[in-house]
């Protein structure tokens, strides 16, 4: 009986997910309408019509080369993101558990966050040239602080009472971490990871553009040089689409699986 | 035979001494009630005895096999259903998921939870249901020692009685011993073999009263009479209803 009900539960969550897709579509339609209005006011050169952009995007996708460039940028962004997720989480959890480390890392973090990403790109270009590693390093230094802070928050704001409970019921330090603390940390960590994923994409494209390292950023640079506004807009749209696909295929399902209880705790109006 | 012994336990939080020279013992199958004013250190004693807090001074000797605890607040995991919360000690004990269900159902039933409540998350349960989930969690592994820290405070009168009867019966049949913390003197009289009164400042156990007969054998009239006698004639109980020792001039 339980597998059936849990399958039903999953199905209903999927239904709600689709339903929220309608709301998303309505939002997109609103953007398109404003865009069209802008196009009609300022003309083709400043703002090409959304339909033209769509067609340009379609054409790019069908050339075949666009898919390759998208894949390259996505791969770079995901590689940088994975690196920052692993390093940021590990360092953040370690710092959360060790107050001395945390105090030590605060000023380091302030400095890291204070340096503009553009400066990192310049440095990385000097060190690594126009390569994957430039992109990866730029993503790493500019997004790790967010993940780090999320992990630290997760550790320091967790409810220790539940860990004491686990201890009474016979859990040693390792199982207290894996069964209790990790779950609590993840609730703070997930929003930070989603944020980091988004900025990974943005930073990847920016680094590609400035370092002339190919990918979507490189294509954008070319479109700009050729004053092909529709194509530039199309690239932007494709990049956003790639990010949305990754977020909704990878992150959201994982999160909703882990955080079913939040759904249960949400007031009715927020749920739908 | 004593199954739990605290020897001259002392403890302080951030340099403020809250417990000093606490010695007490609990025999096999015995229910010992611990009463004392709010803030006198009762929960801290339970936490030290159960190993959650390491005492600064003194020694804890445990001769039972397995203990569990009902905390003053339910301490449920918000991300797990009532079923998984109740089954958590079994999971820690290495019982496979399929093997837990029977024990979970039985424990939930004993604590007065309906099967349909088991699939709810703590946020979907009422305060009393949460506390009953915590009680079921403490019963599910058949421990031979249970710490109760004011477990029934959030329950209504009828349910409170039912839970008290449950503890009395379960202790007699399953032979667990218990340290039962409460501020309700009638509850202490109904449920226990022996009442310990904690000094209002946590400076030792002020005294003990052994109750006549077995727990559960005392009817309401007897409980009431005993309570009146303790409160009016016995100097030991004079201060147990004080609010907080720090508020006193
Ligand atoms: N984690 C802690 N950090 C600092 N002080 C604490 C901590 N836990 C308890 N105390 C202090 O220790 C004293 C005893 O607290 P405790 O919770 O043991 O009281 P109690 O007898 O259980 O009270 P109540 O009946 O209200 O539950 C209180 O003065 C409290 O402020
Ligand atoms: Mg207490």
Grade residue B245 by pLDDT with cuts at 50, 70 and 90: very low
Q: What is the best residue among B41, B46, B150 to mutate for testing ligand 1's pocket, by most ligand atoms within 8 Å of CB?
A: B41
Element (H, E) at A155: helix A132-156
Are residues B191 and B92 part of one domain? Answer: no
Domain that holds residue B238: 1-66+144-249
B131 and B56 belong to one structural domain: no
Q: Establish if B203 belongs to a structural domain.
A: yes
A5 within a domain of the structure (yes/no):
no
B73 part of a folded domain: no
Decide if A164 touches B, using CB distance below 8 A.
yes
Q: Tell me the mean pLDDT in the region A149-176.
A: 94
Domain C-terminal end among B91, B126, B142: B142
Give the pLDDT score at B243: 56
Is residue B135 in some structural domain? yes
Contact A3/B at CB under 8 A: no
Q: Which of residues 199-228 of A touch B (CB under 8 A)?
A: none
**Identity of the residue in B52, B91, B121 whose CB atom sits nearest the CB atom of A261:** B121
Enumerate residues 6+ apart whose C-beta is below 8 A from A148. Answer: A88, A91, A92, A95, A105, A109
Residues B220 and B135 in one domain: no
Tokens for B31? Answer: 């229910």
pLDDT band of B17, cuts 50, 70, 90: very high
Q: Helix H segments across B140-219? A: 157-174, 185-191
CATH number, position A186: 1.10.3720.10
Q: What are the DSSP calls for A230-260, one per residue?
A: HHHHHHHHHHHHHHHHHIIIIIHHHHHHHTH
Range of weakest confidence among A65-69, A180-184, A257-261, B11-15 = A257-261
Containing structural domain, residue A103: 50-259
What pLDDT does residue A3 have?
Answer: 67
Q: How far is CA B98 from CA B91, B93, B104, in A?
A: 11, 14, 11
Tokens representing residue A103 in the block:
């105090």
Q: Are both B136 and B249 inside the same structural domain?
A: no
Give the 3-state secondary structure of residue B56.
coil
Same domain for B49 and B154, yes or no, is yes
Considering the domain architecture, whether residues B242 and B127 belong to the same structural domain is answered as no
pLDDT at A2 (0 to 100): 60
The reply to whether B155 and B49 lie within a common domain is yes
Size of interface A-B (CB pairs under 8 A): 63
Q: Are residues B188 and B136 in the same domain?
A: no
Question: In angstroms, what is the span from residue B44 Cα to ligand 1's centroid?
Answer: 6
Q: Which of B69, B75, B124 is facing A162, going by the closest CB pair? A: B75
Q: Ligand 2 centre and the CA of B72: distance in Å?
A: 6
B59/B180 same-domain check: yes
Would residue A39 count as lying in a domain? no
- Domain count along chain B: 2
Say if ligand 1 is within 6 A of residue B13 CB.
Answer: yes
Q: Are residues B60 and B110 in the same domain?
A: no
Residue with tokens 């399958």: A7
Give the ligand with the smallest distance to the CA of B39: 1
In a domain, B71, yes or no: no
Q: What is the value of ipTM here, to two decimals?
A: 0.89
Q: Is residue A22 part of a domain?
A: no
Q: pTM of this prediction?
A: 0.83
Do B99 and B205 belong to one domain? no
Q: Which of B142, B173, B194 is the last residue of a domain?
A: B142
Task: Out of B142, B166, B183, pick the residue that ends a domain.
Answer: B142
The answer to whether residue A180 neighbours chain B at the CB level (below 8 Å) is yes
- Residue B169 within a domain: yes
Residue of A nearest to B147 (CA): A168
Closest CA to A237 of A72, A75, A81, A58: A58
The nearest alpha carbon in chain A to B123 belongs to A265
């Amino acid at each position: 009986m339980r597998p059936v009900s849990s399958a039903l539960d999953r199905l209903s969550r999927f239904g709600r997910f689709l339903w929220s897709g309608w709301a998303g579509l309505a939002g997109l339609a609103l953007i398109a309408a404003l865009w069209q209005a802008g196009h009609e006011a300022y003309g083709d050169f400043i703002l090409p019509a959304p339909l033209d952009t769509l067609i340009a995007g379609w054409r790019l996708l069908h050339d075949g080369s666009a898919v390759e460039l998208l894949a390259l940028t996505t791969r770079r962004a995901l590689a940088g993101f994975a690196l920052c997720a692993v390093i940021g989480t590990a360092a953040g959890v370690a710092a959360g558990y060790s107050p001395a480390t945390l105090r030590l890392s605060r000023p380091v973090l302030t400095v890291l966050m204070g340096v503009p990403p553009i400066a990192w790109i310049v440095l990385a270009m000097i060190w690594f040239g126009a390569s994957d590693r430039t992109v990866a390093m730029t993503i790493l230094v500019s997004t790790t602080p967010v993940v780090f802070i999320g992990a630290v928050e997760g550790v320091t704001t967790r409810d220790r009472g539940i860990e004491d409970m686990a201890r009474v019921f016979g859990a040693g330090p390792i199982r207290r971490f894996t069964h209790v603390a990790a779950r609590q940390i993840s609730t703070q960590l997930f929003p930070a990871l989603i944020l980091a994923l988004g900025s990974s994409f943005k930073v990847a494209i920016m680094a590609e553009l400035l370092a002339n390292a190919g990918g979507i950023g490189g294509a954008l640079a070319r479109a700009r040089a050729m004053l092909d506004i529709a194509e530039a807009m199309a690239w932007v749209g494709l990049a956003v689409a790639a990010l949305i696909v990754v977020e909704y295929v990878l992150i959201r399902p994982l999160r909703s699986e882990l955080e079913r209880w939040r759904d249960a705790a949400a007031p009715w109006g927020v749920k739908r | 035979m004593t199954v739990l012994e605290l020897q001259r336990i002392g403890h302080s939080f951030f340099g403020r001494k809250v417990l000093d020279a606490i010695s007490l013992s609990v025999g096999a199958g015995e229910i010992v009630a611990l009463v004392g004013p709010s803030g006198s250190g009762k929960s801290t004693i339970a936490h030290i005895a159960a190993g959650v807090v390491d005492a600064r001074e003194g020694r804890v000797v445990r001769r039972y096999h397995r203990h569990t605890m009902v905390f003053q607040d339910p301490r449920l995991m918000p991300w797990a259903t009532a079923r998984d919360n109740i089954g958590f000690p079994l999971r820690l004990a290495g019982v496979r998921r399929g093997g837990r269900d029977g024990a979970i159902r039985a424990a939930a039933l004993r604590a007065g939870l309906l099967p349909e409540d088991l699939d709810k998350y703590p946020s979907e349960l009422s305060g009393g249901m949460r506390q009953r989930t915590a009680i079921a969690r403490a019963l599910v592994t058949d421990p031979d020692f249970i710490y109760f820290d004011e477990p029934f405070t959030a329950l209504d009168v009828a349910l409170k009685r039912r839970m008290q009867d449950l503890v009395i019966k379960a202790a007699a049949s399953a032979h667990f011993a218990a340290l039962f913390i409460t501020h309700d003197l009638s509850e202490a009289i109904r449920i226990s073999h022996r009442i310990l009164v904690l000094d209002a400042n946590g400076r030792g156990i002020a005294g003990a009263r052994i109750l006549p007969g077995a727990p559960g054998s005392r009817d309401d009239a007897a409980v009431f009479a005993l309570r009146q006698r303790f409160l009016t004639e016995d100097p030991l109980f004079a201060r147990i209803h004080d609010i907080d020792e720090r508020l006193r001039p």
